[in-house]
């Protein structure tokens, strides 16, 4: 490469880096603004922040997941709603890259370092937009006592062979008190399940109220 | 009666008598046990049970007690997940009526012909399907369903089990609904190409409270039923579940299931559906409730082409209600905050209400049916129409197919609102087109064992 070309290449690389840096800074600024708005004590400010949440996308997911653990109930709710806004925004047709980026971030929220409430919400968000990439971490939650029922329902909702295979595998591995739940999902997905009769019509809950004498 | 899995009459009567003696309360003889060809005779009493006895359920129970007092029906059981409400209902229903917490005990009883379901919306689909699968005729409150997939299952269950289903959009059965219907189908405002439904806003949760433990009288697990698990919050439950999207869906799923029911009926559009749905609106800024406060939904129908809109607007934007003397058949308009304007190429027509109160504009009330003009079905009353359906096998005025069609309008309006985009719908396949996320939201996986 000639010195002239090297200079040009170097200049171009610098420009790309500068643009990338600027874009990165813009994203960070958008996330900060969103989080500050969502955490604001004013309903009106939180509502305005919510309106802008969709476009901020994947970079805001982790921060919003953290806000969902906030002690202030209204801030927690606003954080949850903002994250749902993002999920519904990136779920639109022809937004695959944005969607995949959000799915990747949400998978990071499934870990045990987040509160159960936040992990449960992330599971249901994934149920609307994720595909095969999320099957493995969701399947792992079938052995989590608090989240297994949600994980089972989410796998039921995600279409494709991978989620079906995960449910079948989950049925084999499930403890006795959870097998019927997974069998229910498999039936909903059109699989015949033998040896585990459906109990949906079996009454179990007795009242203490007596009939009038 | 009409079920293949039912005991024959002799087996049932012997079993019922023995069972009643064993458990110490009077099982009733189902009307079908005395009828030919699997349906109760015209003068036979149906034996009813009530599932969900607060709010509208309380109204239905009191109404049925009056019918029992007139010798029209028997009441065998009442059911609720709230023990206080259940105890009150047991008192209202009187001696010989068995209270249950779990509705599935009712479905097991062979002496019960029919159930009235008035639980929160998220239970309608599952309980109606279970009742049909147990051979019971069903009156289920509106909206019929919360998801598209629930609606499909409800239609299939009613058809497969040959049960009569009436959905509680009782506006169709109101006297002035009949007058409006025949006025419109006889071309008095010409060809109608647009119906604009109006309604006041959904409320905001201005008194939010944090999550807590449920009260001792409430079986929270059973109240939630098919919905995914969450901590109890007072603002989910009695009287206000309507404002939570999952369980109530806001005004559009409440009164939309009334006002748009009239529109579909009068436009002859039952069995059809829109091809596009586009909603905008304002979401609450605080609290638990998440249904749209203000809302505007546009539904586009094709072949024939017409437009239906649903608008939740500020109170001062609502059309003014007609002045009445109070001597009209329907009396004064007590619910002026909702209704619809029908726009034809020769004029307009407006009605208010659309549920238990339906008030038609004066020109429709005063219009006399000319010789040779088209008359329309006049319901004898919403429950009477259901009883007729049970006894004759004829379709009810708000049959499950029609009701699911109307509920789908409400569901799709909310889906467009929460997804923030226009949806395309294939009415023949009953599917959202070209939007994978919205398509997944046509159904909602249900908690074990409270599932379809």
The CATH code of the domain that includes B136 is: 3.40.50.720
Asked if B157 has any chain A CB less than 8 Å from its own CB, the reply is no
Together in a domain, A150 and A109: no
Structural domain boundaries enclosing A84: 18-130
Q: Which of B171, B186, B215 is the last residue of a domain?
A: B171
Cα B324-B260-B344 angle, rounded to 5 deg: 70
Together in a domain, B208 and B283: yes
For residue range A13-69, what is the model confidence (pLDDT) as tens digits?
566 556 566 778 888 999 999 999 999 999 999 999 999 999 999 999 999 999 999
pLDDT higher than 70, residue B25: no
**Nearest chain A residue to B81, by CA:** A207
For residue B28, the SS3 value is coil
Q: Which of B136, B171, B206 is the last residue of a domain?
A: B171
Together in a domain, A22 and A97: yes
Asked if B210 has any chain A CB less than 8 Å from its own CB, the reply is yes
pLDDT of residue B34: 47
Q: What is the mean pLDDT of chain A?
A: 93
Together in a domain, A68 and A47: yes
Together in a domain, A150 and A113: no
Together in a domain, A37 and A126: yes
Residues 6+ apart with CB under 8 A from B328: B365
Asked if B418 has any chain A CB less than 8 Å from its own CB, the reply is yes
For residue B442, the SS3 value is coil
Asked if B435 has any chain A CB less than 8 Å from its own CB, the reply is yes
Mean per-residue pLDDT, A126-142: 98
Together in a domain, B80 and B151: yes
Contact, B141 vs B9, CB < 8 A?
no
User: In 3D, which of B414, B63, B29 has the Cα closest to residue B247?
Assistant: B414
**End-to-end C-alpha distance for chain B, whole angstroms:** 24
Together in a domain, B207 and B234: yes
Query: Residue B60: what are its φ and ψ, rounded to 5°?
Result: -60, -40
Which residues from chain B sit within 8 angstroms of residue A201, using beta carbons?
104, 107-108, 130, 133-134
For residue B229, the SS3 value is coil
Together in a domain, B33 and B108: yes
Length, in residues, of chain A: 213
Interatomic CA distance for residues B286 and B279, integer angstroms: 21
Interatomic CA distance for residues A147 and B123, integer angstroms: 23
For residue range B352-400, what is the model confidence (pLDDT) as tens digits?
999 999 999 999 999 999 999 999 999 999 999 999 999 999 999 999 9
For residue range B267-296, what is the model confidence (pLDDT) as tens digits?
999 999 999 999 999 999 999 999 999 999
pLDDT of residue A9: 58
Which residues from chain B sit within 8 angstroms of residue A55, using beta carbons?
none
Token pair of B269 as six digits: 């559009």
Instruction: Say if A183 falls within a structural domain.
Output: yes
Together in a domain, B133 and B202: no
Instruction: Say if B4 falls within a structural domain.
Output: no
Together in a domain, A138 and A43: no
Specify the number of domains making up chain B. 2
Specify the number of domains making up chain A. 2
Token pair of B244 as six digits: 């939570």
For residue B284, the SS3 value is coil
pLDDT of residue B329: 75
Together in a domain, B43 and B109: yes
pLDDT > 90: what percent of chain B? 88
Instruction: Say if A213 falls within a structural domain.
Output: no
CATH of the domain at A119: 1.25.10
CATH of the domain at B248: 3.30.360.10
**Nearest chain A residue to B216, by CA:** A208
Which residues from chain B sit within 8 angstroms of residue A127, using beta carbons?
440, 445
A212 to B287: CB separation less than 8 angstroms, yes or no: no
Element (H, E) at B214: none
Token pair of B257 as six digits: 């299931």
pLDDT of residue A16: 56
- How many CA atoms within 13 Å lie on the side-chain side of B98? 22
Mean per-residue pLDDT, B102-125: 98
Instruction: Say if B447 falls within a structural domain.
Output: no
Q: Which of B149, B171, B193 is the last residue of a domain?
A: B171
pLDDT of residue A13: 58
Together in a domain, A109 and A25: yes
Contact, A86 vs A52, CB < 8 A?
no
Together in a domain, A105 and A126: yes
Token pair of A75 as six digits: 């801030």
Asked if A33 has any chain B CB less than 8 Å from its own CB, the reply is no
Q: What is the ipTM of this complex?
A: 0.91
Mean per-residue pLDDT, A172-186: 98
pLDDT > 70: what percent of chain B? 92
pLDDT of residue B330: 78
Asked if A88 has any chain B CB less than 8 Å from its own CB, the reply is yes
Token pair of B114 as six digits: 């029919």
Instruction: Say if A69 falls within a structural domain.
Output: yes
User: In 3D, which of B189, B158, B234 has the Cα closest to residue B398?
Assistant: B158
Asked if A130 has any chain B CB less than 8 Å from its own CB, the reply is no
Together in a domain, B176 and B225: yes
| Cα four-point dihedral sign B38, B40, B42, B48 | negative
Together in a domain, B190 and B313: yes
Between the CA of residue B421 and those of A102, A120, B276, B277, B281, what are the distances in Å?
19, 26, 11, 9, 11
Together in a domain, B209 and B342: yes
> Residue B309, Cβ neighbours under 10 Å: how many?
20
Residues 6+ apart with CB under 8 A from B424: B275, B276, B432, B433, B434, B435
User: In 3D, which of B419, B417, B413 has the Cα closest to residue B438?
Assistant: B419
pLDDT higher than 90, residue B129: yes
pLDDT of residue B19: 45
Together in a domain, B296 and B430: yes
User: In 3D, which of A176, A139, A143, A173 has the Cα closest to residue A154?
Assistant: A139
Looking at per-residue pLDDT, the higher value among B177 and B326 belongs to B177
Instruction: Say if A142 falls within a structural domain.
Output: yes
Mean per-residue pLDDT, B134-158: 98
Together in a domain, B133 and B26: yes
pLDDT higher than 60, residue B10: no
Interatomic CA distance for residues B221 and B218, integer angstroms: 9
Q: Is residue A211 exposed (0-12), middle (13-18) or buried (19+ Cβ within 10 Å)?
A: middle
Place of tokens 């922040």: A49
pLDDT of residue B8: 37
Asked if A116 has any chain B CB less than 8 Å from its own CB, the reply is no
Together in a domain, B415 and B360: yes
What does DSSP assign to residue B280? E
Select from B104, B205, B437 the residue whose CB has the most chain A CBs within 10 Å, as the one to mutate to test that interface.
Answer: B437
Together in a domain, A120 and A136: no
pLDDT of residue B331: 86
pLDDT class of B211 with cuts at 50, 70, 90: very high
Task: Tell me which residue in B83, B210, B222 faces A73 most closely, judged by beta carbons.
Answer: B210
Instruction: Say if B73 falls within a structural domain.
Output: yes
What does DSSP assign to residue A141? G
pLDDT higher than 80, residue B265: yes
Structural domain boundaries enclosing B362: 172-378+400-440
pLDDT of residue B37: 46
Interatomic CA distance for residues B312 and B317, integer angstroms: 10
For residue range A71-81, what is the model confidence (pLDDT) as tens digits?
999 999 999 99
pLDDT class of A167 with cuts at 50, 70, 90: very high
Cα B386-B389-B395 angle, rounded to 5 deg: 105
Together in a domain, A123 and A43: yes
User: Chain A, 165-184: which have a CB under 8 Å from a chain B CB?
Assistant: 180-181, 184
pLDDT of residue B4: 36
Interatomic CA distance for residues B119 and B104, integer angstroms: 14
> Residue A18, Cβ neighbours under 10 Å: how many?
10
Task: Tell me which residue in A46, A204, A210 faces B285 most closely, judged by beta carbons.
Answer: A46
Instruction: Say if A148 falls within a structural domain.
Output: yes
A88 to B420: CB separation less than 8 angstroms, yes or no: yes
Instruction: Say if A205 falls within a structural domain.
Output: no
pTM attached to this predicted model: 0.92
Interatomic CA distance for residues B133 and B144, integer angstroms: 17
pLDDT higher than 80, residue B7: no
Instruction: Say if B1 falls within a structural domain.
Output: no
Together in a domain, A58 and A71: yes
- How many CA atoms within 13 Å lie on the side-chain side of A159? 8
Q: Is residue B270 exposed (0-12), middle (13-18) or buried (19+ Cβ within 10 Å)?
A: middle
Task: Tell me which residue in B83, B98, B286 faces A74 most closely, judged by beta carbons.
Answer: B286
pLDDT class of B20 with cuts at 50, 70, 90: very low
């Amino acid at each position: 490469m000639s010195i002239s070309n090297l200079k040009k290449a170097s200049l171009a690389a610098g420009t790309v880096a500068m643009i990338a840096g600027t874009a990165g800074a813009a994203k960070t600024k958008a996330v900060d603004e969103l989080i500050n708005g969502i955490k604001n004590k004013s309903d009106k400010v939180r509502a305005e922040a919510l309106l802008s949440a969709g476009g901020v996308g994947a970079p805001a997911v982790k921060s919003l997941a953290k806000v969902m653990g906030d002690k202030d109930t209204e801030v927690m709710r606003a954080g949850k709603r903002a994250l749902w806004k993002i999920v519904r925004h990136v779920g639109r047709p022809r937004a695959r890259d944005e969607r995949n980026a959000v799915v990747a971030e949400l998978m990071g929220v499934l870990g045990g370092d987040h509160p159960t409430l936040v992990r449960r919400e992330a599971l249901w968000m994934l149920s609307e937009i994720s595909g095969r990439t999320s099957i493995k971490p969701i399947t792992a939650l079938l052995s989590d006592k608090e989240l297994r029922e949600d994980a089972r329902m989410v796998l039921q909702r995600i279409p494709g062979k991978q989620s079906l295979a995960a449910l079948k595998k989950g049925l084999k591995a499930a403890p006795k008190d959870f097998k019927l739940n997974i069998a229910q999902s498999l039936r909903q997905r059109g699989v015949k399940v033998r040896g585990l009769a459906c109990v949906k019509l079996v009454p179990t809950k007795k009242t203490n109220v007596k009939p009038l004498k | 009666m009409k079920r293949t899995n039912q005991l024959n009459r002799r087996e049932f009567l012997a079993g019922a008598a023995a069972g009643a003696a064993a458990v110490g309360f009077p099982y009733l003889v189902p009307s079908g046990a005395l009828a030919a060809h699997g349906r109760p005779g015209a003068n036979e009493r149906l034996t009813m049970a009530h599932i969900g006895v607060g709010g509208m359920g309380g109204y239905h129970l009191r109404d049925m007690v009056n019918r029992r007092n007139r010798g029209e029906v028997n009441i065998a059981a009442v059911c609720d997940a709230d023990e206080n409400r259940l105890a009150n209902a047991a008192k209202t229903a009187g001696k010989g009526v068995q209270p249950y917490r779990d509705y599935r005990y009712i479905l097991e009883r062979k002496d019960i012909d029919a159930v009235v379901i008035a639980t929160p919306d998220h239970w309608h689909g599952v309980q109606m399907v279970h009742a049909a699968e147990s051979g019971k005729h069903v009156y289920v409150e509106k909206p019929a369903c919360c998801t598209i997939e629930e609606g499909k299952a409800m239609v299939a269950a009613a058809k497969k089990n040959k049960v009569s289903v009436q959905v509680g959009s009782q506006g169709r059965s109101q006297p002035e609904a009949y007058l409006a219907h025949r006025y419109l189908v006889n071309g008095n405002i010409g060809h109608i190409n647009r119906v604009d439904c109006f309604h006041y806003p959904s409320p905001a949760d201005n008194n939010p409270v944090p999550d807590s433990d449920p009260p001792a009288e409430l079986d929270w697990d059973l109240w939630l039923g098919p919905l995914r698990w969450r901590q109890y919050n007072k603002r989910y439950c009695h009287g206000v579940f309507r404002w939570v999207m999952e369980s109530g869906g806001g005004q559009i799923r409440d009164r939309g299931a009334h006002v748009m029911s009239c529109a579909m009926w009068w436009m002859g559009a039952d069995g059809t559906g829109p091809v596009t749905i586009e909603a905008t609106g304002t979401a609450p800024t605080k609290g638990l409730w998440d249904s749209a406060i203000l809302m505007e939904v546009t539904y586009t129908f094709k072949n024939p082409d017409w437009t239906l809109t649903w608008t939740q607007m500020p109170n001062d934007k609502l059309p003014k209600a007609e002045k009445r003397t109070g001597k009209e058949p329907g009396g004064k308009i007590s619910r002026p905050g909702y209704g619809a304007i029908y726009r034809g190429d020769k004029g307009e027509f407006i009605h208010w209400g659309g549920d238990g109160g339906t008030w038609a504009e004066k020109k429709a009330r005063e219009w006399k049916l000319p010789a040779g003009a088209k008359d329309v079905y006049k319901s004898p009353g919403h429950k009477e129409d259901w009883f007729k359906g049970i006894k004759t096998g004829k379709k009810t005025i708000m049959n499950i197919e029609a009701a699911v069609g109307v509920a789908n309008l409400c569901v799709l309006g909310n889906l467009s609102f929460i997804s923030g985009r226009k949806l395309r719908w294939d009415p023949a396949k009953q599917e959202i087109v070209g939007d994978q996320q919205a398509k997944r939201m046509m159904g909602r996986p249900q908690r074990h064992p409270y599932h379809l």
